[in-house]
Structure 1
Amino acid sequence: REMLDDERRKLSRAGVAVADNIEVGMMLEVPSAAVMADVFAPDVDFFSIGSNDLIQYLFAADRGNSRVSYLYQELHPAVLRLVKRVIDAAHAEGKWVGMCGEMAGNPLATPLLTAMGLDEFSMNSNQILPIRSLISHLNNRQLQPLVHRALAARSAREVEMLVKEYVPMLRKS
């Protein structure tokens, strides 16, 4: 932020108009950054969770390596707990949180992410309409028991079964 302010001053002195309201965000792609979200939240305007790298680093499992890719689990309770930690830290400071990566476009993750308060989803364009439709059918207040049970679950498979139990339209996926 200091660097941004310094550059803004330099540009102003050079006669270049600079916007006053540039948002400064932080991409969270490693578990250490996500764990420290409460420390970083006062200094940023938003967080963006890079789910692909975050999950890969959390489980020390290269999703592109067929020998260990099975360890990459978007719905694992450890992932959900980390995401919730980031969302809660940001919201405690009045900041917003977005997510990019495959988890943001995963219909089985959508009910959990919306109920945890994720503010923005970034996904492939072919996923936008189905995810938007799904979100329009969700009631975040009614999904709070699902979030609590998912965070207490022991496996990604258990979370998947819980989501399908709570959101009937996802049972066939």
Structure 2
Amino acid sequence: MNCNTLFSVLLVGVVALIGYRLMPPMVEANFTLTLSKSRGNIEKINQPREISATETVAIDRVKLNEKSRFQHKKLGPLGWSEHFFADIVSRFVVEEEGRYRFLVGSDDGFRLAIDGRVLCQYATDRPFRKQSCYQSLGAGEHTLELNYFQGYGNAGLTLEAAKDGEQAPAYWGDDIAGIQYITP
């Protein structure tokens, strides 16, 4: 092998490595996360919204609390550092009716609703805590809505679910027995 061939192979390898590093990270999209920057301070989940900017991100699971920040393990930081809302709408099918446990972790406030009915919420700011709520779901299609706000300081949002008493909860977006996601 001559020097030109060796140099060409090395150059192709370097270009491929640079291309790989420049590609933005991607995940399998199970649902869409809409982030909205507030013009002012946010004190409650249900306060009127005055939005200055929005962005939409496709995510695979609701585990957005890496290193006490609102960030995804693979996608990195999402949204802004403070005073923003995050909204997730997820359509899913329940294969077998039953009572389901939903476990919401948040640092600050949240509201979880299924088919328009609020299951649980924490309206104001707080340090990261988890809260369980239960809902009997019939077989068929349902719509989950999770709203969150970040005031200031540490941040994070998680959602886990499982059929009550059957298994440990898994993050929303991961495989959960009896639930099939309808992807956007």
Scaled to the shorter chain, the TM-score interval is: under 0.3
TM-score, normalised relative to structure 1 = 0.27
**Bigger share in strand:** 2
| Structure with max Cα Rg | 2
TM-score, normalised relative to structure 2 = 0.26
**Bigger share in helix:** 1
Relative CO higher for 1 or 2, CA cutoff 8 Å, sep ≥ 6? 2
